[in-house]
Amino acid sequence: MKSLVVNCFKKRKLTNDVKDVHALKNINVDIRGGERIGLLGHNGAGKSTFLRTVAGLYPISSGELKVEGEVRSLFDLSLGFEQDATGRENILYRGLLLELSPSFMHEHAEKIIEFADLGEFIDYPIKTYSAGMQVRLAFSISTSVGGNILLLDEIIGAGDAKFMSKAKQRIAQLIDQADILVLASHDFHTLNSLCQRGLVFYRGEVVFDGQISDAVNNYKKINGLS
């Protein structure tokens, strides 16, 4: 609509400027059990797209994607909330989005509520929550069960200092329990401490695959960092 209005004022002929963008190209990666992998790359390099593709959120247009195991992903935490429904009702809704059964969600509801620490607000509509409260509830739901394949897009901030401490402990537990970890981050210290293997993305392609320390050095070299 904005383009239409601007072009009308400029009295220029409208043209179709929409082009296909291949977010990932020529990706050939084999990840095996027990691996801890860090993804490096500037914003827009393809890290998050890679994670969401592995999680099954984005379809592939060519090639083959084979995932064996139960994937648990921690990104898009605010996805799937019904604003007019209560926090308690949204536990069920988000559970369905995560492909968890209603009986499972009912069984774990009280533990989820306790971890989110929302008190009486759990029975208030989500639209009355602050952004931090929504993130706390979403984080509590999403981490209520683990998976043997854990996908993380940065280490998630989830509210005040007290809750952040609990969140970090839970993430650490999920990482310990996971058979495979794939973490996208710009934090070199976190990558070096959690991962052994690194993939460097550049313009949608994997340009380096090797030891995490070498991957960090490769990323710095590509981006002109000391």
Structure tokens at 160: 């005040």
Q: List the domain boundaries for the chain.
A: 2-70+146-222, 83-142
Q: What is the pLDDT of residues 100-129, one digit of tens each?
A: 888 988 999 999 999 999 999 999 999 999
CATH of 2-70+146-222, one of 3.40.50.970, 3.40.50.2300, 3.40.50.300, 3.30.565.10: 3.40.50.300
CA distance readout (Å), 13 to 9, 16, 20, 130: 11, 10, 22, 45
CA distance 115 to 120: 13
Residue 15 CB partners (closer than 8 Å, separation 6+): none
Confidence at 142, pLDDT banded by 50, 70, 90: confident
CA distance 154 to 167: 13
Max CA pair span of the chain: 62
Secondary structure of the chain: what % helix, strand, coil (to 5)? 45, 15, 40
pLDDT, average across residues 191-198:
94
Full-model pTM: 0.79
Q: What is the mean pLDDT of the chain?
A: 86
CA distance 39 to 45: 10
Confidence at 191, pLDDT banded by 50, 70, 90: very high
